[in-house]
Structure 1
Amino acid sequence: MRKIIALATAAAMCLSMTACSVSVSTSETTKAEESAAETTAAEAAESSEAADSDLVATADYPTKPINMIIPYGAGGTTDVWGRKLAALLEKYLGQSITVTNQGGASGSIGCQSVKEQPSDGYTLLVCAETMGTYRTMNICDLDYEDFTVISPLVGDPKVLVVGKDSKYNTLEELLDDIKANPGKVTMSHSGPGGSGHNQGLVLKELGYDVAMTSFDSGNDALLGVIGGQVDFTNPNISTLGGYIESGDVKPLAVFSNERMEAYPDIPSFTEVVPESEKYLNIPYTLLSFVVNNDTPQEVVDVLKAATKKVFADPEWTDFVKQNAADPVFEKYTDEASIKEFYDNWKSVICWLQYDNGVAEKSPEEFGIARIEE
């Protein structure tokens, strides 16, 4: 009996010690969890304060979600850059931005829809270079002057390429053949008045008569070269990189007066044809961020401040480098330089198109000065 009592007592002591041990362990775990929760909350608060410090919004703007119109279809150059801008603007404006594609009529349908919206900063527009030629091309009455330019964005460099099996290995060989066979060497482009077509007009102005063939899109024009249907084309680098790496095309020149940092081995067009420089001091595929021109100045100021933060954001600068884009936004930052930039662009392109019978109306009708010789 004494043994049973002793065993029972020992068991009770063991259970008591175990309960104490569990109680202490649970208490310590709870304290650790509470401490971790406090740390997480503090870090979240600190992160929130840091995020708030990046905001440039005011009490009056923006106070609700924003819409951004891309006047072209999804997946194109304008769409890609517009969506990247929208995603980063959300970060600094503190409001969501919905991107809507409204393509058609060289982008004029989407641009017109923005013009018809209230000028309150809640409808933004990322447009392409065709905005500067709508009037002379008789597409519509819109112009950059109908909008306030928050900032030019980037130029998407154009590269003259031939297929991998082409007999041309250098720009000199291609140009020599064009000279020897005027109107016989074929060039594809995405349509009249577009940046690729404009490049063909520059060649014509320089004495190189090529047979221009219009395709439904820049990508189709490029596939026409890869498939051997035409001799050469001039796509944007943002859509070309993979084809260069795969060897499907041979790049002969950047249609510019300088080489690209991302592809330093591709010569600039002006290295071979120096007299082309007066035509190549502008980006042929130009993207711009604009709002209606009667938008309140305080709203414009907020958008400009947010855009400036976007341009300094590593996610933006990395994207620019990855796509070998021309950082036009770095070169024209005040109202005077921005206006001079767009005036010069229209002077070059609108007169180029009119002199070659592409534009229906004279640039002079709209006060666009002829480029200086």
Structure 2
Amino acid sequence: MKLKTLLTLSALSAAITLPGVTLAADSYPDRPIEFIVPWGPGGASDLLMRLVGRHLEQELDTPVPIINMPGASGTVGLREASRRDPDGYTITQIHEGLLMAHHAGVTDQNWDTFEPVAMMTSDNSVILVNADSGWETLDDMLEAVQASPGEYRMGVTLGGIPHLWAVQFENATDTEFGYVGYEGTGERLRALAGGHITVAIEDYQSAEAFLENGDMTALAAATDERLDELPDIPTLKELGYDLEFLVTRGVVVPKGTPDSIIETLESALESVAESDAFVNDVANAGGTVRFMNRADYTDYLERNDQFIEDNAHLLD
């Protein structure tokens, strides 16, 4: 009887436990979701992901606190995120910088260290110079830099996407800069405004306040078309250089996160991306909403990863 009773209790326990797991998944989320942003405050990743987090809070009716974890080209925060339990209560953000850091040998992590959920935004990049340079056009800058190779300093993230952009820009314009490495956009912009560097390629929304204050000047937009916010600034393509510098930002979760939870997050992020309030907030920050669902985002990351792998040798 004791053995029979024990077996019966074990069967009942299993029958109760399995529905319990389903109920736990169905109740997701029932506590705050930590959003690790692997960059410091003030840059585009921080600004845009705070908007994503704020609107996701409203969509899921649960807190989404932002936790900044900068360091080592964004890989410090990403490594922490990758070690978190795959339970849906940690999300993080990646962009092309992770792919670049991987192929530059900075980190063994790559996009497929995580489970992609959705792409959310893209940036509009511009060529910026310190206002004290006196340069008013791209030709002004190119003439000066070509006459003094290596003298003018450009801010980059060494081994990151800004580094690749700098090399591509040099190759296309027959210039040579001295590179100064910074961890993120916020640091580079402060260095540019303070005159510690002369040139940087940055996203418009992060630089907007510095441009309005007269700390720096935009010489060209690295976009397909002129920016509405800078209608008098030509694109690099207009000026004869077939270059476009694009950064996209998407949400990922630790590997092994259940599909049901990823689908909940994907659906919520799609609703966020479709809301007028979010679109307006991102536009006011100078960015563009660019939503891709899980499947399309995964395909984009695979293709872009191959492009970066093929071009990473330019940093040698």
Cα contact 1:255–1:268 (8 A) shared by 2: yes
Number of aligned residues? 292
Q: Deviations over 1:14-60 (max 9, x none)?
A: xxxxxxxxxxxxxxxxxxxxxxxxxxxxxxxxxxxxxxxxxxx9733
Q: Deviations over 1:170-194 (max 9, x none)?
A: 112322443444334x132143023
What CA distance in whole angstroms lies between the structure 1 residues aligned with 2:70 and 2:315?
Answer: 27
Larger relative contact order, structure 1 or 2 (CA cutoff 8 Å, min sep 6):
2
Deviation at 1:228, TM superposition (A): 4.3
Aligned-pair Cα RMSD in Å? 2.5
Q: Deviations over 1:258-299 (max 9, x none)?
A: 22222222211111124x24xx2x61x332211123221111
Cα contact 1:182–1:208 (8 A) shared by 2: no
Q: Give the corresponding residue for 2:74.
A: 107
Deviation at 1:68, TM superposition (A): 1.5
The answer to whether residue 280 in structure 2 is matched with residue 321 in structure 1 is no
The answer to whether residue 150 in structure 2 is matched with residue 188 in structure 1 is no
Q: Give the corresponding residue for 2:252.
A: 290
SS in 2 for 1:301: helix
Cα contact 2:88–2:257 (8 A) shared by 1: yes
Change (3 A) 1:346 1:261: farther
Q: Give the corresponding residue for 2:163.
A: 197
Pick aligned residue for 2:230 from 239, 243, 263 = 263
Change (3 A) 1:272 1:344: farther
What CA distance in whole angstroms lies between the structure 2 residues aligned with 1:165 and 1:59?
Answer: 58
SS in 1 for 2:154: strand
Cα contact 2:59–2:268 (8 A) shared by 1: yes
Q: Give the corresponding residue for 2:16.
A: none
Cα contact 1:178–1:208 (8 A) shared by 2: no
SS in 2 for 1:268: coil
Deviation at 1:225, TM superposition (A): 3.9
Pick aligned residue for 1:312 from 274, 277, 283 = 274
SS in 2 for 1:307: helix
Query: 1:145 is matched by which residue type in structure 2?
Result: D
The answer to whether residue 35 in structure 2 is matched with residue 72 in structure 1 is no
* TM-score, structure 1 as length reference: 0.70
Q: Give the corresponding residue for 2:217.
A: 250
What CA distance in whole angstroms lies between the structure 2 residues aligned with 1:302 and 1:218?
Answer: 31
Cα contact 1:155–1:325 (8 A) shared by 2: yes
Query: 1:187 is matched by which residue type in structure 2?
Result: R
Larger Rg: 1
What CA distance in whole angstroms lies between the structure 2 residues aligned with 1:82 and 1:228?
Answer: 28
Query: 1:164 is matched by which residue type in structure 2?
Result: A
Q: Deviations over 1:280-330 (max 9, x none)?
A: 2x61x332211123221111111111101111223211111112213332x
Q: Give the corresponding residue for 1:342.
A: 301
Pick aligned residue for 1:208 from 151, 154, 174 = 174
Cα contact 2:136–2:217 (8 A) shared by 1: yes
Change (3 A) 1:179 1:155: same
Cα contact 1:200–1:212 (8 A) shared by 2: no
SS in 1 for 2:179: strand
* TM-score, structure 2 as length reference: 0.82
Q: Taking every aligned residue pair, what percent have the same amino acid on both sides?
A: 23
Query: 1:60 is matched by which residue type in structure 2?
Result: S
Structure 2 unmatched runs, 5+: 1-23
Change (3 A) 1:218 1:208: farther
The structure richer in strand per residue is: 2
